[in-house]
Structure 1
Amino acid sequence: MSLTSFALIAILVAIAPLLGSLTRIPSVVIEMLLGAFVSYIGIYHPSEAIHYVAEVGFLILMFLCGTEVDLKSFKDLKKSGLGKNIFLYFSILYSLSLLLVLLQKLPYIYIVTFPIMGVGMIMTLIKEYGKEHIWLNLALRVGILGELLSICILVGINGFYTYGLSLELSKTFGVLLLFFFFIALCFRFFRVIFWWFPRLKTLIVPHEDTSNQDLRFSAMLFFIFISIVLSLQLEVALGAFIAGMIIATFFGNRHSLHNKLTSIGFGFFVPFFFVNVGTTLDLKTLLSHPQLFKDSLIIVCGMFGIRLIGCFVSFRKYLGSPKNTILYAFSDAMPLTFLIATATLALQLKVITQENYYAFVMGAMIEGILFMISIKVILNHWKTPQKP
Structure 2
Amino acid sequence: MGEIQILIVLAFIIFASPYIAKFIKIPVAPTEIILGIIFGSLGFFPENEFFKVVADVGFYYLMFLAGTEVDLKIFFTTEKTVLKRSIIFLVLLYILSILLVYTLNLSYLFIIVMPIISIGILSTLYKDYGKDEEWLNTAMLVGVIGEVVSIALLTILNAYLKYGFGASLFINLAALVGFLAITTIVFKGLDLFFWWYPSIKKILMPQYDKEEKDIRLSMALLCFVIAVMIILDLKVVIGAFIAGTLIPTFFDHKKELPHKLSSFGFGFLVPIFFVYIGSTVNLDALLLPGVVPTIFLITTAMLIVRLVASIIFIPNLGLKGSVLFGISLSIPLTLLIATAAIGYETKYISQDVYYSLILASLFEAIICLVMIKVIYNFKLSKK
Q: For 2:151, give the aligned amino acid.
A: I
Shift of 1:189: 1.6
Structure 2 residue 37 is the aligned partner of structure 1 residue 39? no
User: Larger deviation: 267-276 or 127-136?
Assistant: 127-136
Match of 1:303 in 2: 302
Match in the other structure for 1:364: 361
Per-residue CA deviations over 1:53-78 (Å, capped at 9, x if unaligned) read: 0100000000001111112211134x
Distance in 2, matches of 1:135 and 1:256, equals: 23
Q: CA deviation at 1:46?
A: 2.7
Letter in 2 for 1:307: R
Letter aligned with residue 336 of structure 2: L
Q: Give the structure-2-normalised TM-score.
A: 0.96
Q: Is residue 335 from structure 1 mapped to residue 336 from structure 2 by the alignment?
A: no
User: 1:386 & 1:234 partners in 2: Cα distance?
Assistant: 53
Question: Partner of 1:350 in structure 2?
Answer: 347
**Counterparts of 1:245-324 in structure 2 under 5 Å?**
245-286=245-286, 288-289=287-288, 291-312=290-311, 314-320=312-318, 322-324=319-321
Find the aligned partners of 1:9 and 1:262 in 2 and give their Cα distance: 19
Matching residue of 1:54: 55
* Distance in 2, Cα, partners of 1:355 & 1:272: 26
Three-state SS of the structure 1 residue aligned to 2:86 is helix
Aligned positions, number: 382
| 1:182 aligned counterpart, secondary structure | helix
- 3-state SS of the aligned residue for 2:210? coil
Distance across 1 between alignment mates of 2:352 and 2:314: 37
1:222-269, CA deviations, whole angstroms, 9 ceiling, x for partnerless residues?
000000011011111111111101112111220232221011111111
Displacement of 1:167 in angstroms is 2.6
Please list every run of 5 or more consecutive structure 2 residues that lacks an aligned counterpart in the other structure.
none
Aligned-pair distance for 1:386? 6.7
* Partner SS for 2:371: helix
Q: Tell me the alpha carbon deviations over residues 95-147 of structure 1, each in whole angstroms, 9 at most, x when there is no partner.
A: 11111111111111001100000001111111111122221111111011111
The answer (yes or no) to whether the contact 1:40–1:284 under 8 Å persists in 2 is no
Once residues 3 and 282 of structure 1 are traced to their aligned partners in structure 2, the CA distance between those partners, rounded to angstroms, is 22
How far is 1:385 from its partner?
Answer: 5.2
The DSSP-based 3-state class of the residue aligned with 2:207 is coil
Q: Contact between 2:33 and 2:362, CA under 8 Å: does it hold in 1? A: yes
Give 1:71's aligned amino acid: L
- Indicate whether 1:376 and 2:373 are aligned: yes
Cα deviation digits, residues 338-375 of structure 1 (max 9, x gap): 10011111111211111111101110111111111111
CA distance in 2, matches of 1:266, 1:117: 21
TM-score, structure 1 normalization: 0.95
The corresponding residue for 2:154 is 154
1:191: Cα distance to partner?
1.8
Question: Structure 1: which 5+ residue stretches go unaligned?
Answer: none
Kindly, what percent of the aligned residue pairs are identical?
36
Amino acid at match of 1:292: V
Maintained 8 Å contact 2:303/2:330? yes
Is it true that 1:86 corresponds to 2:86 in the alignment? yes
Counterpart residue number, 1:111: 111
CA distance in 2, matches of 1:316, 1:201: 40
In structure 1, what is the Cα distance between the partners aligned to 2:178 and 2:381?
51
Question: Is the Cα contact below 8 Å between 1:2 and 1:46 reproduced in 2?
Answer: no
Q: Residue 253 of structure 2: SS of its match in structure 1?
A: coil
Asked if the contact 1:116–1:146 (Cα under 8 Å) also holds between the matched residues in 2, the reply is: yes
Partner of 2:205: 205
The alignment partner of 1:207 has SS state of coil
